[in-house]
Structure 1
Amino acid sequence: MDFAEDLKAHGGDPAAVRHVCQDMSAAYTKGVGLALPDAAISYDRFHVIKLAMSAMDEVRRTEWREQPRAVERALGGADRKVLKGLMWGMRKNPQRWSARQIDAMHWLQYSTLKAARAWRLKMALREVYAAAIEHNNPDQAETDLRAWLSWARRSRLEPFKKLAKTLSEHFAGVISGMVDNRSNAFVEAMNGLLQQAKRAARGFRTADNFIAIAYLRMSKLAHLPAHPFTQAVAR
């Protein structure tokens, strides 16, 4: 309840909050239910795709560890550069593939590897999200997601079967996150900068010091003096 009290202290009204975009943490969901009881929840697409990426990586690592010969045959050899290109190619969007990754992904797509099925599932989920943003129709998004969930359940890939179960349990919030196009990307980027500042300082003695640095890094102040160690430019 600390968030609600802090919001009130700054002139906000917790009862007026109508929407929260978050990841699937049970703790966050419980906290929102207690502090912001009138807010609808949607699950950030970034986190959903990240779960699919993790499932894909788990399938790939397991297959490479348990069936190395099958992977070698499917990829035309055991060159580490090919395997590395494949790993990054599976994670990246096709538009960003390097020449090496294009070659590795060509072999993968014509193979019968489990990793190939995992990659197709991950890409199909991306397409469901892209289509939802385009048509902005909750009913169509539900139809598309249910079709994907059915495919994932029948895939015989345990990580994706678990993912399908997770998304089914959070179905309404996932659909909401698809069609409203909300994202926590900006907040995640800010958090990354704050963590970078924390590492650079090797910790702060007090919370107030850290808060001061947070305001300094995030406020885009333009009137600060020049760095004291910057050499003057000769005129």
Structure 2
Amino acid sequence: LDIVEGRTENDCKQLIEQALTSEQRAQVTAVALDMWQAYANAVSQALPKADIVHDRFHLSQHLNDAVDSVRRAENKALNKIGDNRLKGSRYCWLANEENIDKKRAEQFDVLKTSDLKVARAWAIKEMFRGFWDYRYAGWAKRHFDRWYAWAIRSRLTPIKKKAKMIKNHLPNILTYFKHRISNAVAEGLNSKIQTIKANARGYRSFAGFRNS
């Protein structure tokens, strides 16, 4: 509907108020967004009747980042002793398992069932995917509690940090089961916007970019 230049709380509030009339804002029941606190604050002020729904794809990205941190550290340690098992395996740890081609899948089967730290991190990430399969928030919360207990006991610092972050935002994650919305459409539009920006080789001013 519109864009603004910054990412601050005031910028987000300005975007909402210039893109939607007061009547439209009164009808908004839910907003999907990432866990950037400035956005949540702006939505709470400008759309007080709306539930905040933290985007499931951003959560997946956070867990992927944690798995990749574990992989990088372990790969560095293994390389020092001449063990190159993790070489070229990054894609497998981060992709959805069903999207891995047959050749890679055969190699990955060995890695994911090994005693590697990244194998444990990956298994924890995969367990969290099941959170989204529930129909009701109560059952999803029970799944989360089991997952969180495992993540905290994992002795994997990147995983523990992300688990604590997710727990802190859990109330606005469980709202997904009420509204079933995500940022998928917005991310698709953003991709097109970035393509336009790249094709134009940049803009001299934000106003010119916005008018395009």
Inter-CA distance 19–188: structure 2 relative to 1 (3 Å threshold): same
Identity of aligned residues (%): 31
Q: 1:64 aligns with which of 65, 68, 75?
A: 75
Deviations along 1:111-139, one digit per CA (max 9) or x if unpaired, are 1110000110111111222x22xxx1111
Q: 1:54 aligns with which of 65, 68, 72?
A: 65
Which residue number corresponds to residue 222 of structure 1? none
Q: How many aligned residue pairs are there?
A: 200
Highest RCO, 1 vs 2 (Cα 8 Å, sep ≥ 6): 2
CA contact (8 A) 1:7 1:13 kept: no
**Given the alignment of the two structures, is residue 167 of structure 1 paired with residue 170 of structure 2, yes or no?**
no
Inter-CA distance 55–35: structure 2 relative to 1 (3 Å threshold): same
Structure 1 Cα separation of the partners of residues 28 and 97 of structure 2? 39
Which residue number corresponds to residue 10 of structure 2? none
Deviation of the 1:17 alpha carbon: 1.8
TM normalised by structure 2 equals: 0.85
**Given the alignment of the two structures, is residue 96 of structure 1 paired with residue 108 of structure 2, yes or no?**
no
Which residue number corresponds to residue 127 of structure 2? 124
**Given the alignment of the two structures, is residue 33 of structure 1 paired with residue 56 of structure 2, yes or no?**
no
Deviation of the 1:38 alpha carbon: 1.8
Deviation of the 1:7 alpha carbon: 4.0
Q: Say what the alpha-carbon RMSD is for the aligned residues.
A: 2.1
SS at 2:52's partner residue?
Answer: strand
| Residue type of the alignment partner of 1:27 | A
SS at 2:109's partner residue?
Answer: helix
Deviations along 1:159-185, one digit per CA (max 9) or x if unpaired, are 111111111111111112256321111
**Given the alignment of the two structures, is residue 146 of structure 1 paired with residue 158 of structure 2, yes or no?**
no
SS at 1:202's partner residue?
Answer: coil
Gapped regions of structure 2 (runs ≥ 5): 1-12
Gapped regions of structure 1 (runs ≥ 5): 73-77, 214-235
CA contact (8 A) 2:30 2:51 kept: yes
Deviates more, 1:153-162 or 1:13-22: 13-22
Which residue number corresponds to residue 105 of structure 1? 108
TM normalised by structure 1 equals: 0.77
